[in-house]
Amino acid sequence: MKRILKILTSRAVLTALSILVQFLIIFAFVRYFSEAFVYYYSATFIISIIFCVVVVNKNTNSAYKIAWILLLMCLPLFGVAIFLILDGISLVKFKKKRMLKITDNIKEHLSKDEELTIENDLAKGQSRYINDYAYSPPIKNTRSKYFSGGEEFFKELLCELKKAEKSIYMEYFIIKQGYMWDEIKTVLLERAQNGVDVRIIYDDMGSIDQLKWREMKKLKKAGIRIKSFNPFVPVISTILNNRDHRKICTIDTKVAFCGGVNIADEYINLKEKFGHFKDSAIALYGEGAYSFEVFFLTLWEYITGEKTKLQKPQYEQLDEGVYQPYTDSPIDTEPVGENIYINIISNAKKYVYISTPYFVVDEEMLRAITNSAKSGVEIKLIVPHIPDKKAVNQVTKSYYSRLISAGVKVYEYKLGFNHSKLVISDDKIATVGSVNFDYRSFYLSFECGVWMYNTNTIKDILFDYNTMLTNSLPITSENCKASIFTRLFRAILSAFSPLF
């Protein structure tokens, strides 16, 4: 009984109930006026048409537009009200201005006068795009280590945290109570007592009800600075959509970690939720760490208003290929994460291998993948066999038939939930990071990753991918057949999937 009461009085449940009440009030308001006015339907039809025109002319993804138009036409006045709250009203001007300053700060600290020499013209074009539109230059003087699971990542992370002498900056979508967090917390407290500057950013929605007030008070008392990104308040607002989905840890401007692994026990398979939890991450040692420190500190300045003086250290001269850390913001109009994926897929000559937990994409991405496959490029896609979100998984399955008919080889990771987000092409190019193949990652969340060309780590990524294939179930045109009712259900979900 106490456990049920604790769940019912948790912040997450109370917040959800508050938002539900607001939706019901809006719906009741609409119903009241629908009965009070004779000309309701004609008036709302005209209003909906006007807002549909507004949606059509927005500078955004076409599938996103279609989803809003369907909602506006199916539920006229209710759809208009929700559109105004969640999309029609932009961020408050001063907040948007402050957020755009993040990009300005990245430009300032990561600008580079000369381009690195990349002999491959197609790779050079991809690198130039990231430099010009994500404002993240290509770098050398970096070595890397790839982790094929959360367990390997956790072991290396603890090792590097214990060696910290100056700074530890951590930024995660989820920080959850458990063994993994307890071990990290112990090291952070010890390092903070020894004068190390320890700062933590966590996404308030991703970590809701996970970090207790008493624990944060203890951390702050020990000198650890901890801040939530975009505090989740029980008010329907467009700002709620923009989440910090990045996973970053930088230490002494010497090493940086990024990838798909959050701080929670299921990511290191100490807690089983959906079978074996498969993930990936990467560590950059050397100059690449500076880029991620810039990403962290520019977001820290947005949250706190505190500007940190950045000084780039001298790094050992290394030539282990080209690395290009990048970040993607939902505030600008450039879907960097999606375009990096499209550039790799469209420029591949031999193969493109993709791993993602969610595959909910627009027509542009789908066409890039299918056209590449039709042109003779081997395309392989691994998604989970055991999903964490059943509705999203149904949308993913809705693409199977079209992908397979175009020649794409689709697999489901049968050991459990595949959370790994990576793309690898032609033994030369790869990217690992936090970006899913879905609308939320492409258009609504803050994301990050590392694009690589001709690095030693690429062979490790390829080996891990081939290992995943041996533990995956091939999907064929026969075993992906579904009933007419299932196909209809998936079609409805797909139509509204950009609003998930």
Q: What's the mean pLDDT in 339-355?
A: 97
- Per DSSP, the residues of 13-60 read HHHHHHHHHHHHHHHHHHHHHHHH-TTHHHHHHHHHHHHHHHHHTSSS
Query: 89 is written with which tokens?
Result: 């009203």
The residue among 76 and 242 whose pLDDT is bigger is 242
Q: pLDDT at position 15, please?
A: 60
Domains and CATH numbers, the chain: 2-88 (no CATH), 93-328 (3.30.870.10), 336-499 (3.30.870.10)
CB neighbourhood size of 163 (10 A)? 12
Judge whether 408 and 267 are in contact, CB under 8 Å: no
- Mean pLDDT of the 285-303 span: 94
Taking only the tens place, the pLDDT of each residue in 76-132 is 766 666 666 666 444 445 556 666 667 777 777 786 645 666 778 889 999 999 999
The tokens of 429 are what? Answer: 């190019």
Is 238's pLDDT higher than 70?
A: no
Distance of CA 278 to the CA centre of its chain: 16
| pTM of the entire predicted model | 0.86
472: three-class secondary structure by DSSP: strand
For the residues 465-474, what does the mean pLDDT come to?
97
